[in-house]
Amino acid sequence: MNVNFLLSRPLEDDTYSDAAVVLFFTSRSFLLIKRRPWNEDPWSGQMALPGGHRKPWETALQAAVREAEEEVGITPNISGSLGIFSPHSRPMKVRVFLSHVKEELPFKVGPEVLWAAWAREDDLVKGEDCFYFKGERVWGMTYRILLAALGTSPASMGNL
């Protein structure tokens, strides 16, 4: 985890992002969730970061805090933003917020989450265009967010 880089990121908020996620991280780990399968979720059953859609009256930061509380029962202490990412499957802006915690906090999964776990960089197995964590494929936008957070690029991933 590139902690110094993450801690140096400025806090940016907006009202134009469609959704927001929170990257909870310690000096050695980060929190991942597996979304519960259900028909109305295009990312159903996938590995992700806690987060979701912004309601019209919310800022992206407010949405990130609400969604993290709903999905993992943790109120994030947002310190910065990693930027805006988009899934390749649809035109959508997702603001990534950063919440540094000193130790792995206990969590309680909400109804949209099947399970959650604190992952260490060593727990990730590099695939073709993804990571594998506990046999689950972490790909797409979540994969790209983790690449940025880990301070790596796809070309330099041979050592993971």
CA proximity to 68, closest of 80, 52, 50 = 50
- Whether 157 shows a pLDDT value over 50: the answer reads no
pLDDT category at 5 given cuts 50, 70, 90 is: very high
Query: What percent of the chain lies above the pLDDT cut of 70?
Result: 92
Of residues 127 and 40, more confidently modeled: 127
Q: Which residues contact 155 (CB under 8 A, 6 or more apart)?
A: none
Mean pLDDT, to the nearest integer, of 65-77? Answer: 98
**Position 70 pLDDT exceeds 50:** yes
Domains of the chain: 3-149 (3.90.79.10)
State the chain's mean pLDDT as an integer.
91
Cross-strand bridge partners of residue 29: 120
Residue type for position 25: F
Joined tokens for residue 117: 């776990």
**Which has the higher per-residue pLDDT, 27 or 156?**
27
Mean pLDDT confidence for 84-106: 94
Terminal alpha carbon distance of the chain: 12
Segment 108-131 shows an average pLDDT of 95
Q: Which residue has the higher pLDDT, 89 or 61?
A: 61
What are 133's strand-pairing partners?
Answer: 136
Q: 99-126 in b/e burial notation, b at 16+ Cβ within 10 A?
A: bbbeebbebebbebbeebbbbebeebee
128-152 mean pLDDT:
94
Q: Is pLDDT at 24 greater than 70 in this prediction? A: yes
CA–CA gap between residue 116 and residue 5 (Å, rounded): 25
pLDDT band (50, 70, 90) for residue 39: confident
Q: What is the DSSP letter of 126?
A: E
